Structure 1
């Protein structure tokens, strides 16, 4: 029955037996293609006569006959034509077939005997080609003799142990899991020819210049291979084989990507002369975890990732004097101890990264790429030149070295064992070049060094008695930060990367500075060192009253001056940045004339200063201001006496004056710039005498003790002006005319009276955690008013009454507040769906006569359309939309989870149905 069903499904045109065949004993002989007309009758005959063999006689054209699967033997004799094939699927899954005898030159069609019980093929040399999957899954098959041509999967899943073959197609003999020995007479072993032949151990190739293509022997059990006649090994050809030792004797051999990668038992590689590495290839021995020794001889490059993750590779030898070591060639070869070579060419990016056992690198080289030796913690090398970024970073065993020609960013960063460095022909010491070299004590700069970049020697242990920077034209910010240099020499006026860049920030050990050109003097660069002896060899400056002066400029106030008071000479029009930094005895300073706005940070970091007296009364013709950062970080400043004619206090002028408790701003002062009093943590009171004033961003930010700001009128108040002022709970907001976004954000105001026009600034009262009540009043009822997005978002607002002039409520304007009730006036015609998002307990109210909206238990609905605008309050877990709602608006239904503020656990997951 099974064969009859297969007959109907597999044969679209059946050939019917017309009883012209011959039967000789148990052998049915087919004479012509017309012998088959009645297949069912033929099958019946085979069963009744117990036919064992089917013979295709001379002259027959090998017709398809479904009954072939019932016989044990098929005999193929000479057909009329030479181009003949045993039909595909002829004995597919046959459980009777045992023998195929081939007496003529034929091909065996696709799947002809697949998954059948065939055991033997007689005269295999007569088979021109075994087509795709012809014997796939034939577990009883045994072949003896030379196979002429194997097509895809022709012997797949068979148990053949030995094989001799002439030519193979791609995938031809893959997955022959029992195959152990093969002899090949072809110059081409194609892609995946023996893929997954796990037990294949012996391969004999009898022709010259053989090409082995992609994955040809991948995952085979090959332990040894003769590469003498091989001309090309393509990508992954021997990947994951069991090769233990490789010798490549053919100088014409060409290797492609990953040819021997992931061979877990490979221990040695020997190249007797040289091989050619294909362009743009690499990874030839990647992840050969057992590889220990490589003799590379005269091959001209180690390509990208060639030995990557070869963790046991200890020795590499080369005699090529121009050997290029490409990107990541020895990446994480953690056992590699040395490179046995006299000279190499270029060393590319990450070539030896994480080679933690590499102790020496003696070959001369042309250049070193980025991170080439990164993390080689045991490397000891003394001569380094032409380096890339981070090329020797974290090489903690390098103790002393000479650097030549060129460096790049972070070349020696965190080389913690480095103690001394000398430079030859180096023009620039780049960004972070020696940062974190915590034991670096001495450097020898050559005259060629012109630029020292940002952080170049940051956090090193430079402890030099004298450092000569005479030839430097640029010294970057923090270049020598936290070092221990004692004496410096300068000749040129040098630049920094930033306006306020300080190359010697945190250096407290400087005792002497010699200037061959006095105009190179920059006092702010040495603000952390006191008692400095300053020598000017050109005598352009004069020393007067413990200050260094040049014409109208005051450059420096000697920190060791015994004087408690100092009055700035009337001739002085500019004080250099940090000129008074580090003063130990100065308690009071008086300025009775205008100091130019370019005197930024003039008194900054004057930690002993307690009192300031400034009076510009006698100054005419100037736009008078206290310059940027003028008193910044004067941490003991208590008293500030400001006279008239000060129109503006510039950015950060009193920032960080943590002892200042109160200050009166004179009537002529109309503007306080950004960060003016930021971080004045003891400032309690500030009074403005002017009729009106402008306060810029962060003006009093984090003045945690500030409890009173006394003013007549603030014409504009900028972002975060009083943020973090924990003690400031009251403010006369009524007299603030205009603000910017976030003006009151993160403030601690409690109950305030606010002009309605101030609500039209984004996030105006955001995160006001103490704000309980807001009383609104209208200055200009004829104007359009609205509550801007985020206005009271995440505040503690509990009570507010909206006036009739409010027309719009934008998104999150009352989000996450503690409002219980809010009346919506009839003037409101626009409300965002997210207006009350997160305000769980709010209840909305409005007149029934409201022209635009109606309100339900949880809903705000447009009257005209029946559109649901928003839901408010905490919705039940199963919410039923009321019948009067015709349209559900976008984002109209919101029910965020409710979270316990202390435990941060979800109390209520919100709407779920």
Structure 2
């Protein structure tokens, strides 16, 4: 029936002398002493509106004195408006009138000696309290949330308590127990005799704007001034020693505090939610700041810590507006969430060497720009910056400790590591963060990543110092939503990934003085259409413009020396490229999957490279470097001058169906035919000793492959996802080394043609053993008779019945397998056609 229940046995009293409860009218009684015939009020009906407690009650022919009001006796009787307590009552127990929200007045008779803790908690309509002469103890929080209480009267004959102007004190007025919260006064002077202010003494005194405390005050109790929301001014006396938990919590008008040197303890949540508190002076000898002491003091912008502080508790400054924090030299512990959500906190400094432990999320939600660790040993702070992006923040540490910090989380997450003796400075101007030193600045981060247009200024000012903006830092505008950016002519360097994944960037004018563009600087800028690279740039680095799939034209400087790997990979709208005269180094895969690129031209004055039919070679044409992915020819025959096919040479060409590689070729680079999805067949040279990693990766139309006898190794994923392979002919006596991925997603039941004497070797070799259909290589001619089923005329072989046939050259290489009705043999020579256990010879 009630929220709180007493722990006595709830059985009805019977004719024997067993103690129990019984109900008369609206009240339930419990026997406290059968011998003395004494009972107490144990419970009451919730709906009661008015109660008169009798002096005595009779039950089973016995008369009992009513001597107490038990725990929770009237708890949650929310309709109870009045009660008459007789002089027989000696105790009012804990929670006795808990949440009797309609009770307006209460007289505690002279017979009552004690009121329990929280006895009147939540009596929100109680306006007047009369205390008679016998009361000598009042429990904690007895009058908590009695918001309407206006007057407290104490009998002059009471030896323990007194009242003055409706305010409750102990008898000698050294302790102030309760200032009635509904009193209309706006100012109050605490009597000079008072040395202690008890818990909740002024709680919810919403009219108070100013309180003057006596000089001899030594203690302010728990929640003493809590929720005094109009309290704007209070003097803290010089002899105060302790401010207990939540003493000034939610004093939202309090603006400043000067705490005396005598103060040696500030409790948990002492000033929590003091939202207008902007200035606090801490005592010089304070050693601890407890949990949530200044939590949510959103106007607090600065704090000076005494050097004696060794401990700062959890949430101590959570959600404050601190901008800089310098921790004292004696600090040892910074508890979890200490500076959580201090969104304006940009700079933190830790002292020199001694062990410091920083708790979980201590700096989560901050806006750290610079963090100074003066100690050579990294503080223990594994999760101190949870969910905080440190990529554009600077860590200043002793130069000899760089490796130690880089090897330790979270310090390894800082994007910039600086010598603590450095003159570098980091600062924000508008939405852009800069690193400044010696009069120049580099833009390193843009906080407004959703801005559609960005202007980088020519110069910025910080603390009166002028900095010329000369650089765009690594990742500075990564994943920004800008469609345009204006750079000043003072810019000389653009860092790695500076505009990485700026998908909406349509245009950018690169400054004439620009000398360096970093790796992946414009990676995946999918809206960028044209770029003019200044003459001062000498190299295009790794993947600088990779993934710019709308980039149609690139103007490169005549002085360009180097183009690094994948510089323009997947630029699917790029149609042409001119290699300047001075370019002497072109990396692998520069034009990978540039599906519209049909020609690469080279300046005739270039001494390193040449172009033949739009195909890029080295100057002597012995190395084929790039066969443009946009060329539309169905077949291609390499010149016998070529000895090397470079890495990624044919990458991503979707038109080629057949490639003839002469025996002059000694090496094929990795990924050479990667993603050539239309490639049907390819002739590999006899001199080949290795088929490197990913060579024919995802060549999904490849139907057959003949692996020369000299091949010793076939690399990882060399034929990965060649799902339409119908046969493999491997002439090597000893199975080439392969791995798990070499033929991944190739059917395992296709014919594998190997030398007859090597079948068992292949069946037992690692990973070759996954294939199940091994057949010995057929040599010689079974039948030289002419054929009615197959006819041949000037390089065209006719197979009108669609028979399954194999075509070999005179060296025994399988060059075709299938059942097409018309087959074109592109090279003159002698061929052996095998079908239906027959072999015929043709030539042209």
- TM score, norm. by length of structure 1: 0.46
State the structure with bigger RCO (CA 8 A, min sep 6), 1 or 2: 2
